[in-house]
Amino acid sequence: MIVMRRKLLACGLALGLLTAIAPTAPAHAADVVSAPLVWGVPEARQAVAYWLADGGANLKNATAFIPPYDVQGERTSGTIVPPGKPFQVGPVAPLAEGEPPRTTGKVFFVGGDHEPHWCSGVALQNAYRNLVATAAHCVYDMVSGPATNYHWVFIPGPATDGTHPYGIYAGKQVFTHYDFTQYRDPDRDVAFVSVFSGVVPSADGTLTTNGRLGDIVGGQGVTFNKTIDETTTPVDVFGYPVGPHPDGTRPYTGQSLERSTGQVSTTHLTSPSADQLVGVESPFTGEGSLGSPWLQGYEDERGLGYLNGITAGVSDTDGNGRYDTGISPYFDSPLVTIYRTAAANWTGRLT
């Protein structure tokens, strides 16, 4: 019943949301779709309890989410001209002095198959310091939907033993593009999720508030409407790949954060049908890396940069049995509106 109600709201909540927040909505406001991931604090606590039960058994048994479509195509030397003015928000470091940013982590959820899964995700800067970006397919079950997945949480910097040193952040609200929820459009496979303040389990099993996500781990900046051509600055891709290459090799375990650096380019795809996906040189396999952030201007000293892509799939462009390209929707003006709407959503605490 809960999943069904969310399914209905996911299709129809946008109008009410936009009316409530903006009497004079921007041109792209009609593109914004929002849906609740929980109905309130009690259900959010249940989501956290699901992942902590039996010594974290569900966390340990969760499997990497499999990309929803097989990407076939190649990176090209074309150009994407921004459809609007550039928009950028700077990153922020954790509040604790000397604590390095730990913005990349895993999003955990129970999918339409009623099994636990995970993807990669990243904490973003916003006024409430409560925002996560990932692939929309890691929030919505599009097989039986559109319907939101449930027991959705974000765990930044998870340890290899399955623990959560920086807390668990239950998802409250998801914001994405209308074309994704209605048409499964790969060009819009990006979601922004507002999360409650983090919690950590005490020795007796009770939950204690950890703090706001951005205060604890920091938040990456975000930038939109960037020109894509042969002069585009390379980006750093961070994620937790684990699945096999087409040739069967498995170079990643999914247990540790991986990084690759590559040039961004336009793409020509034969599958899936998409108009404006961009590609990046990256050897990441698909499973586990879905939702990986692409960071421009990443500074090793600060551990911060600007999000300008989210891995929505991977491709073997030269047919040698090894993935060599990650793909992402182009971060354009409609996504600015979705980000700004999500960034203005207050969440609160679970305890």
Question: What does each of the 351 residues of the chain score in pLDDT, given as a tens digit?
Answer: 233 334 423 333 333 333 233 333 445 677 999 999 999 999 999 999 999 999 999 999 999 999 888 889 889 988 999 999 999 999 999 999 888 899 999 999 999 899 999 999 999 999 999 999 999 999 999 777 678 999 999 999 998 777 899 999 999 999 999 999 998 999 999 999 999 999 999 888 889 999 999 999 999 999 999 999 888 889 999 999 999 999 999 999 999 999 999 999 999 888 888 888 999 999 999 999 999 999 999 999 999 999 999 999 999 999 999 999 999 999 999 999 999 999 999 999 999
Residues 6 or more apart whose Cβ sits within 8 Å of residue 107: 118, 119, 120, 121, 132, 134, 138, 139, 152, 153, 154, 155, 171, 193, 291
CB 284 within 8 Å of CB 326: yes
Q: Residue 23's pLDDT is what?
A: 31
Q: Residue 274's pLDDT is what?
A: 87
C-alpha distances (whole Å) from 222 to each of 298, 304, 306, 307, 345 are: 11, 11, 5, 4, 17
Q: Residue 27's pLDDT is what?
A: 53
Q: Give the integer Cα–Cα distance in Å for 126 and 92.
A: 9
Q: Give the integer Cα–Cα distance in Å for 281 and 101.
A: 25
Q: Tell me the one-letter amino acid at 297.
A: G
CB 129 within 8 Å of CB 92: yes
Strands 87-89 and 63-64, how do they pair?
unpaired
Residues 6 or more apart whose Cβ sits within 8 Å of residue 309: 235, 237, 264, 278, 280, 293, 294, 326, 328, 329, 331
Q: Give the integer Cα–Cα distance in Å for 55 and 33.
A: 36
- Beta-bridge mates of residue 173: 36, 194
Residue 318 Rama label (left phi>0; alpha psi -120 to 50; beta): alpha
Q: Residue 24's pLDDT is what?
A: 34
* Domain boundary assignment for the chain: 2-343
Q: Residue 145's pLDDT is what?
A: 67
Q: Give the integer Cα–Cα distance in Å for 81 and 244.
A: 35
Q: Give the integer Cα–Cα distance in Å for 351 and 313.
A: 37
3-state secondary structure of 345: coil
Q: What is the pTM of this model?
A: 0.92
Q: What torsion, rounded to 10 degrees, do the Cα atoms 191, 132, 63, 319 define?
A: 60
Report the chain's terminal Cα–Cα distance, integer Å.
26
